[in-house]
Amino acid sequence: MLEGFLQQYLRLYRPLISSLNELLGKYNLSYSLWQVIYYIKHHGPSTLVEIAKRYSVEKPTITRRVSCLEDLQLVEKIESRDRREKLMQLTPKGEELYAACRKEISNLEREILEKLSENELQSFFETLSKIRQQLAEKEGKQK
């Protein structure tokens, strides 16, 4: 019964990420850029290290993503006491784009999940989160 769990889980990844990238592509974004916008929107002005930690990627990855978003004028740096760090916030244009994409992503989610009951969804969420915890513990042990 357990066997094949990972297969089942991973099989969904490619179709989901391509749906998202197709959607976000219309705004010159990709899911990896969206993650940064999403993080800043939900945590307020953020440093690159914060964002990197959240998504378990290295700093250079976030440097790249952020500089790309700067080029698109969707985020901007604001002053902070610590002059090493780069505190980023959304520009008005960034806020607009967030709202537009948020709407479309929610529609996509609704479409994909429409056949599922409230209970099913609830329990799916919980399972995901338990697995994440378990994985985190496992990682923790290895160090």
Binding site for a second copy (CB under 8 A): 1-3, 5-17, 19-20, 31, 38, 55-57, 105-106, 108-116, 118, 120-132, 134-136, 138-139
CB of 143 to DNA, least distance (A): 14
Task: Quote the CA–CA distance of 79 and 86 in Å, as a whole number.
Answer: 8
| Cβ closest to a second copy, residue 63 vs residue 106 | 106
> What DSSP designation does 89 have?
E
- Answer whether 73's CB lies under 8 Å from 93's CB: yes
Q: Quick one: what does residue 32 bind among a second copy, DNA, none, with the CB cut-off 5 to 8 Å set by partner type? A: DNA
Q: Which helix or strand (DSSP H or E) is residue 106 part of?
A: helix 92-113
* Closer of 19 and 70 to a second copy (Cβ): 19
For residue 7, give the DSSP letter. H
Residue of 42, 15, 11 whose CA lies nearest to 31: 15
Q: Least CB distance from residue 138 to DNA, whole Å?
A: 18
